[in-house]
Amino acid sequence: MEEEPTDLLACCHDMVRYINDMKRILIDKGTNNDEVEEGMQADLTKTYDRITYPSLLR
Q: Which residue segment(s) compose the domain that 24 sits in? A: 8-52
For residue 41, being part of any structural domain is answered with yes
Domain tally, the chain: 1
Question: What pLDDT is recorded for position 49?
Answer: 75
- The confidence band for 54, taking pLDDT boundaries of 50, 70 and 90, is low
Helix intervals (H) in 3-53 = 8-29, 34-52
pLDDT value at 2 more than 60 = no
For residue 28, being part of any structural domain is answered with yes
For residue 15, being part of any structural domain is answered with yes
| pLDDT tens per residue across span 5-49 | 567 777 777 888 888 887 777 777 665 566 666 777 777 777 777
Query: Model pTM?
Result: 0.41
Question: What pLDDT is recorded for position 57?
Answer: 53
For residue 1, being part of any structural domain is answered with no
For residue 2, being part of any structural domain is answered with no
Q: How far is CA 5 from CA 8, 35, 41, 50, 57, in A?
A: 9, 33, 24, 11, 13
For residue 19, being part of any structural domain is answered with yes
